[in-house]
Structure 1
Amino acid sequence: MIFRRGRKSKPDPARAIDEFWRWWADTRARVEQQIGGRPDPGLIDEMGAAVAAIHPGLEWEFTAGRDGGSRHLVVLSSAGDAELRVLAERWRRAGPEPDATFGFVTSRQGDPAALEEARMEIAGRRLDLSELRFSADVDEDRHQVHVEVWHPAFPDLPDGARDQVTFLSLDWVLGEDPVEIWVGAITAAGGPGPALTARQLAAVVAGLAPADGEERWLTMSSTVDGKPVVALAQTPLRPARWPGLGLHIRVDVPYARRDPNGFPAKDAFPGLYALEDHITRHADGAVVVAHETSDGIRTTHLYADRPAAAEALKPLTAAWPDGRVQITATPDPAWKEVAHLT
């Protein structure tokens, strides 16, 4: 069940989140009865109002849990809006811990079997979604997969309907977060050819995540305003990997000893690396996602969930010998400040 309810006014989200969880504590037993088959006509409207009070753009649903966790999930989805995803994460963190009955998540979950008995009415056609097929072109460097989607009815559907089937099917099979993190280009195939089933596609995508959980970094080089630049960024560099971190922190560290290209001289690197390690260890919940080096400046990009994380960095850099370290904090839920590194 998926529900959405609009509302003109927009109360304070923090207060609305607190009120939601108080309402939930009082109403949980009614939710269990509704899911168990006992109708409660007012419950859906109450839930919709409680969610809309946080933000009218949020979408919610009850769905079944998976993999031995909670039997049911309460999903609060941002429907692809990065700013709302940060707000949904604040909702989740303020709530109770999951238990055997209910878990709480901020994106719709995938199910590789979702299409096997599913039908869809669109553009005057009734599609058997088990006939969908996929191709998966893995980009080994960027740890992403480019996907084509095909259905035998595509030649008879308008472009908009084909695209709708394409994107919805990936969300249903993989889940919103895996699509955002691991899938690159998405296209509706122009003709037959893709041959993977939904389960096979899900296996390819699952294989992209490192089994050991280690960070993976990509080295890049370019020229900006005539100056050479070298960058190192976590990959995939997608905000869905770190939900809730919507504050960009930029740390610009000057270095005096340079080579002819403006990069650090060999004897400058130990000090720069030591400072970066110090920042990483004491970043107060912030995550280091990228570095850029050019023309006497080493820039570190971090993301955090609160301004205090930026303030915590200032004492760490105060004694830098090569000049003033500049620290800038900017709200950036869509991670636009590092988009050039993706």
Structure 2
Amino acid sequence: MKGRRAPGLSAVAERAGVSVSLVSRILTGDATLRVRDDTRQRVLQAAEELKYVPHVSGRALRLAKAGAIGLVVQDVSNPIHAEIIRGAQLATAAHGQVLLLADSPELASNTQAFDRLIGEGRIDGLLWQSSGFGFDDELASRAAGHLPTILVNNRPRAGVPGIRLADEEAAALAVEHLIELGHRDIGFVGGRAVTDISVRRLAGFSEAMNRHGLPIRPEWIIAEEWDAAAGHAAMTSLLTRPRLPTAVFVANVVVAVGALAAAREHGISVPGDLSVVAIHDVWFVAHGAPPLTTVLLPLRELGRRAVELVLGDDLDGPEGGHLITDPPPQLVVRDSTAPPRTSPIGHLR
């Protein structure tokens, strides 16, 4: 039909019930792919039914080797990303490749540059860290139609495979630590609520609370963004509640930095009045005031393994995506957590 776009790889993937990257590898005749015959036939049938026409030049470029892997994150200056980047660099170097780094908002604002990046053979694979923006699924899915693509610390979505850390287990470990100290009134400060990471960490928080029969109070659950300013705003909002928790689990250490600053500004002593524990263990948290209790997750292994997957034969993996469980989450106890006060903190004035 005139003016109507021809069906793309994502349409074929949806019809066949598989990922975009698997469709791409089947339709481009990837000889290294190991896949069941019935799955291959289902993809070929879907492509025929939709009258999918492959992009010939794109197929040729897909078979080329650029010697580079792309890593897209929300903010390249975020210290949490440093370990992911380091792991990815080690893996690319081991394969004789280099790592190219980019901010996802920058690529989203310049889609022509993004299309050239994925469509002209400039990279051999792409690691995409979804940050919950509307463009994440669209761009990651578009990339998966051209080259091996994986979502970093995300479950599969939009037909794109994913690799993730044990975030639910890490969150539960943090909450268990607070409960063992005697806390029963525990709040949650998350990142952007729609992100898969925030959803999984809230799930781990809720599971631990429910397991111990402790109430989850909606007024003590606040999700903002993934930066220190958001943590400051979230804690400031929490401290306006008529009754405060005795402890707070924070979704990551960058958010926790802002949360701790807001507590200090409002005269809240950590851990005397309020215990705080956060996910991830970056270099500066041991030197804070107070040093922060954290749960260590294998970020370097996440970056390394993501590169191995886009360069290997098992990109799609299990239905729920790839999950890194070794090494497991590790609690690092410092001075920001302690037993609760004998009486709850009232409303601040």
Decide which structure has greater helix share: 2
TM > 0.5 between the two? no
Look at both structures and tell me which one has the larger radius of gyration over its CA atoms. 1
More relative contact order, 1 or 2 (CA 8 Å, 6+ apart): 2
TM-score by length of 1: 0.25
TM-score by length of 2: 0.25
